[in-house]
Copies of this chain bind each other. A is one copy, B any other.
Amino acid sequence: MPLTIPSPIAWATDHGIRILDQTRLPQEERYLELHTVEEVAEAIRTLRVRGAPLIGIAAAMGVAVSAGQRGSGEAGKNSVEGVREACHILGATRPTAVNLQWALDRMRRRADLAAMRNEELYSALREEANAIWEEDRRMCDRIGELGAALLPSGATVCTVCNAGALATGGIGTALAPIYVQHQAGGEPHVIVPETRPLLQGSRLTAWELSRAGVPVTLIADAMIASRLRLGDVRAVFVGADRIAANGDVANKIGTYGLALAARAHGIPFYVAAPTSTIDAASSSGAAIPIEQRAPAEVTGWLGQPSAPPGVGVWNPAFDVTPAELVTAIITDRGIVPPKDVARVID
């Protein structure tokens, strides 16, 4: 049976796109139509659309939107300039996710090709964005099949943040093995930490798993190590925003602490990500730029302050888990030890 999770992205009328505003979940299932590249960039920057694979898809669709905006004329020099400008705006939204740059590179190349071939630009770019989306959907399915084979039936697993259907064009990365097992009647159970400061665990992962009928237990981030100590968690599955050539993994802040706790309790720690997340140009995690976000995310929530005014804050959106804490990386091209991850994209 199909999963009953709404798609986080779709094409809309008038060369626009429609997104599920993830900042309003779980209270409200609200959709927004975006008709300019600036609107798409704003949606990515403010995390209305988030998750490394989905950011790539949304940016690709945003590039098509920018061509649609300019009218559906032929692909000339001006139009290709417009695409470059759109890529520049979209590329500046989030520094850590490498899928964003990867998708924009593809869109730029497609625009160049369209100009060379004198193709209609909007159609060409829309087709390329659809290809990226469809490939992501298939990558999710493949990751799900490979990952599910690592899971005993009825297993309790732990994840962090949201690397599910809401973060991708398909059934997710870290959550894909769980959905595959769930659909096969395997009855998995997921432990998810709320994932402060932006609560993607409670707002998004708990929401989409509940929607799909997968039992979920929500904990505070500080409870992870104690929960793993109980002894029933069989595996940890997390996504990735960028994987360096040496197998170091940048992912949502908190992933590194989760990896340390998994290691302390002998629990396998799997990173699930499409090959587009692997960045051969980053030799190690030290080369990955880590986005710092606004202090207000940590000093309060939904406008309610929780800290005294003026307090110092450190708010990185991501951390780096060293390769030696990663049991294996589950990609759409197979399961590999972290040290061999660069070979997957050779």
A residues bordering B, Cβ < 8 Å?
26-27, 160, 191, 193-197, 199, 202-203, 206-207, 210, 215-227, 229, 252-254, 256-257, 260-261, 264, 298-299, 301-302, 304-308, 310-316, 319-320
Option from B193, B203, B254, B311 in Cβ contact (under 8 Å) with A223: B254
Known A-B contacts A210-B308, A260-B225; the reply to A315 vs B254 at CB < 8 A is no
Option from B253, B299, B310 in Cβ contact (under 8 Å) with A222: B253
Instruction: Decide if A260 touches B264 in the complex (CB within 8 Å).
Output: yes
Contacts of A197 in B (CB 8 A): 220
Instruction: Decide if A304 touches B304 in the complex (CB within 8 Å).
Output: yes
Nearest B residue (CB) for A256: B225
Instruction: Decide if B210 touches A311 in the complex (CB within 8 Å).
Output: yes
Instruction: Decide if A257 touches B261 in the complex (CB within 8 Å).
Output: yes
Contacts of A298 in B (CB 8 A): 194, 202, 218-220
Nearest B residue (CB) for A301: B301
Contacts of A229 in B (CB 8 A): 256
Instruction: Decide if B304 touches A226 in the complex (CB within 8 Å).
Output: no
Q: Can you sample 16 A-B contacts with CB below 8 Å? A: A26-B305, A26-B307, A27-B305, A160-B222, A194-B307, A202-B311, A210-B308, A217-B312, A219-B315, A221-B221, A221-B222, A223-B254, A225-B257, A226-B320, A229-B256, A260-B261
Instruction: Decide if A218 touches B261 in the complex (CB within 8 Å).
Output: no
Main secondary structure of the interface of A (DSSP, over half): mixed
Nearest B residue (CB) for A295: B218
Instruction: Decide if B299 touches A302 in the complex (CB within 8 Å).
Output: no
Q: In the complex, what distance in Å separates the CA atom of A305 from the CA atom of B25?
A: 10
Known A-B contacts A196-B196, A253-B222, A302-B304; the reply to A216 vs B260 at CB < 8 A is no
Q: In the complex, what distance in Å separates the CA atom of A218 from the CA atom of B194?
A: 18
Known A-B contacts A217-B312, A261-B260; the reply to A307 vs B222 at CB < 8 A is no
Instruction: Decide if B313 touches A219 in the complex (CB within 8 Å).
Output: yes
> Which of A218, A313, A316 has the most C-beta atoms of chain B within 10 angstroms of its own C-beta?
A218
Instruction: Decide if B306 touches A202 in the complex (CB within 8 Å).
Output: yes
Contacts of A222 in B (CB 8 A): 160, 193, 195-196, 221, 252-254, 257
User: How many whole Å from A217's CB to the nearest CB in chain B?
Assistant: 4
Instruction: Decide if A307 touches B203 in the complex (CB within 8 Å).
Output: yes
User: How many whole Å from A87's CB to the nearest CB in chain B?
Assistant: 31
Known A-B contacts A222-B193, A314-B223; the reply to A306 vs B260 at CB < 8 A is no
Instruction: Decide if A307 touches B218 in the complex (CB within 8 Å).
Output: yes
Contacts of A206 in B (CB 8 A): 307-308, 311
Contacts of A257 in B (CB 8 A): 222, 224-226, 257, 260-261
Instruction: Decide if B202 touches A220 in the complex (CB within 8 Å).
Output: no
User: How many whole Å from A291's CB to the nearest CB in chain B?
Assistant: 13
Instruction: Decide if A307 touches B202 in the complex (CB within 8 Å).
Output: yes
Nearest B residue (CB) for A26: B308
Contacts of A227 in B (CB 8 A): 314
Nearest B residue (CB) for A191: B314
